[in-house]
Chains A and B, each alone.
Chain A
Amino acid sequence: MDPSLFEAVWREHYRGLIAYCSYSTGSRTDGEEIAAEVFSQLLESRRAIDPGRVGAWLFAVARNMCASHHRRATRQRRLTVRLVPPDHAAAASDVWKDEHLWAAVRALNERGRLAVYLRVFEGRPFIEIAELMGVSESAAKMTYYRAMKRVRDAVSEVSAEELRSDSGGVTDAE
């Protein structure tokens, strides 16, 4: 890609792309590493990318890389000897302060995670989310609301468990 064009693309997208990768991986280091790789791929690209589609291209590459990161991290957690308690090993994030929310977001598929990011953190309308994800507006809405329902259900389940735990297991006091 032409350096002057790259400069313009970087200025427009660096903040959102780094934020998305950090949000998705739950790690600043990993997120920044992936973001750097995405922009490197853009620079390496010899194919002409439609300037109006650069954002979609960047998020498509980042989404694939984040998905790959999660697949490997999941396998890693299964295979790695646990030198620290499992809950610490699984939930550690320097991006998410709420471990229950992070666990719920981590359980989403990458498409759902991206839709949630674009809506919640970038505040984009669905028509823009659809363009960035390469889907129809109705598909973007469906992806987003399904993902949010999963997050809500996961968080509600944890809250209910905590409530039961707080009540010492007594849920039906007479």
Chain B
Amino acid sequence: MPSEIDMQHYHELESRMRSAADVWPSEDRAAGVLARVMERRRGGSPTRGRAVLAVSLVALVLLVVAAAGLGTARSADEKKTPGNSVAEHPDMSAGPAYAGRDEPGIDYDSLQGQATRFDTAEDAGRAFGVTLSVLEGAGDNEFIAAWVSKPETSPQYLLVEYSDGSVVDITYVGDEAALLADPGTRDADIAPLISVVRVNGVDAYAIGRREADPSVDENGAIRPGTGVYVGSSRISWVAGPYAVRVMGHARDVAGLLPIAEGVSLTY
């Protein structure tokens, strides 16, 4: 057991923690959670039992909302954080994530301060110190812009943005390129989802977009292969000190392959 002095410190710390975290949900947010529970039940097969349950839950939502006097559950807009920043929400990035279903995207506000915009991939490549060409004018997936990180940013990166939200991300990470290019081969949940594809003669990892809701057993343990969310499809490989990642939430792996094969990088 802790000493008396320790106990006093812990009491102070408890008080500080209570002031530091606003954990309690408002009634309207709680109603939003309940609405989501109901929504998931509605997603199942339309049996009579489910219909009865849905009615019951609707009543419960209304009760909770009425108690708060705060209108209905959160709107769809509120569920998304403006900006779709990769960094603000890890689950919005292209990598595997557990919770959250928001789509990935580029945080233009952050890029404005940290990167320079180029109108062609060739110009961006020159600024980045490489020779680069990418797939352009591919019908429904037009090249929009390329971005190169400013010298003070670490790690250094070059992004190519396409009209359907696909992104080519080339990051200079030296010895850690293999780590960055690996979408999760050492994670037991993710590894079975990863395949190897050939991109211009090089082996690349490929993983498709996926939303597998978690399923738990009676002990509360998540069953293998469930609870896996991959925010966007990805093909990634190592090119010397660079990790190259082609990502897209609107495409599957086969749809991304032409973009990946369109990347020509000489360093």
Q: Are A22 and B23 interface neighbours, CB within 8 A?
A: yes
Q: Compute how far the CA of A58 lies from the CA of B100 in the bound complex, rounded to whole angstroms.
A: 20
User: Is there a chain B Cβ closer than 8 Å to A171's Cβ?
Assistant: no
Q: Are A18 and B41 interface neighbours, CB within 8 A?
A: no
Q: Compute how far the CA of A95 lies from the CA of B23 in the bound complex, rounded to whole angstroms.
A: 6
Closest chain-B Cβ to A23's Cβ sits at a distance in Å of: 4
Q: Compute how far the CA of A40 lies from the CA of B41 in the bound complex, rounded to whole angstroms.
A: 7
**If the complex has contacts A4-B56, A83-B114, are A64 and B216 also in contact, measured as CB distance less than 8 A?**
yes
Q: Are B13 and A15 interface neighbours, CB within 8 A?
A: no
Q: Kindly supply a per-residue 1/0 record for chain A positions 1-28, scoring 1 wherever the CB is within 8 Å of any chain B CB and 0 otherwise.
A: 0011011001000110011101101011
**If the complex has contacts A18-B25, A77-B90, A97-B20, are A83 and B111 also in contact, measured as CB distance less than 8 A?**
yes
CB neighbors of A among B129-156 (8 A): 153-155
User: Is there a chain A Cβ closer than 8 Å to B184's Cβ?
Assistant: yes
Determine the chain A residues whose CB is within 8 A of the CB of B213 once the complex forms. 37, 40
User: Is there a chain A Cβ closer than 8 Å to B175's Cβ?
Assistant: no
Tell me which of B13, B107, B154, B220 contacts A57 (CB under 8 A). Answer: B220
Determine the chain B residues whose CB is within 8 A of the CB of A75 once the complex forms. 95-96, 184, 187
Q: Compute how far the CA of A152 lies from the CA of B110 in the bound complex, rounded to whole angstroms.
A: 34
Q: Are A14 and B30 interface neighbours, CB within 8 A?
A: yes
Closest chain-A Cβ to B180's Cβ sits at a distance in Å of: 6
Give the bracket for the number of chain A residues in contact with chain B: 35 or more
Q: Kindly supply a per-residue 1/0 record for chain A positions 50-81, scoring 1 wherever the CB is within 8 Å of any chain B CB and 0 otherwise.
A: 00000001001101110011001101111111
Q: Which of B154, B155, B157, B216 has the most CB of A within 10 A?
A: B216
Q: Are B56 and A88 interface neighbours, CB within 8 A?
A: no
Q: Compute how far the CA of A65 lies from the CA of B17 in the bound complex, rounded to whole angstroms.
A: 23
Q: Are B227 and A65 interface neighbours, CB within 8 A?
A: yes
Q: Are B57 and A3 interface neighbours, CB within 8 A?
A: yes
Tell me which of A10, A89, A121 contacts B87 (CB under 8 A). Answer: A89
User: Is there a chain A Cβ closer than 8 Å to B219's Cβ?
Assistant: yes
**If the complex has contacts A23-B23, A79-B95, A101-B17, are A14 and B87 also in contact, measured as CB distance less than 8 A?**
no
Q: Compute how far the CA of A39 lies from the CA of B25 in the bound complex, rounded to whole angstroms.
A: 16
Q: Are B110 and A83 interface neighbours, CB within 8 A?
A: yes
Which chain B residues have a beta carbon within 8 Å of chain A's beta carbons?
Answer: 1-2, 6, 9-10, 13-14, 16-25, 29-30, 32-34, 36-37, 40-41, 52-53, 56-57, 60, 79, 81, 85-91, 93, 95-101, 106-107, 110-111, 114, 153-155, 157, 169, 171, 179-180, 182, 184, 187, 213-216, 218-222, 227
Which chain A residues have a beta carbon within 8 Å of chain B's beta carbons?
Answer: 3-4, 6-7, 10, 14-15, 18-20, 22-23, 25, 27-30, 32-37, 39-41, 43, 45, 47, 49, 57, 60-61, 63-65, 68-69, 72-73, 75-84, 88-89, 92, 95-98, 101-102, 105, 116-117, 119-121, 141, 145, 148-149, 151-152, 155
Q: Which 5 A-B pairs have the closest CB atoms?
A: A60-B220, A98-B20, A76-B90, A36-B36, A89-B87
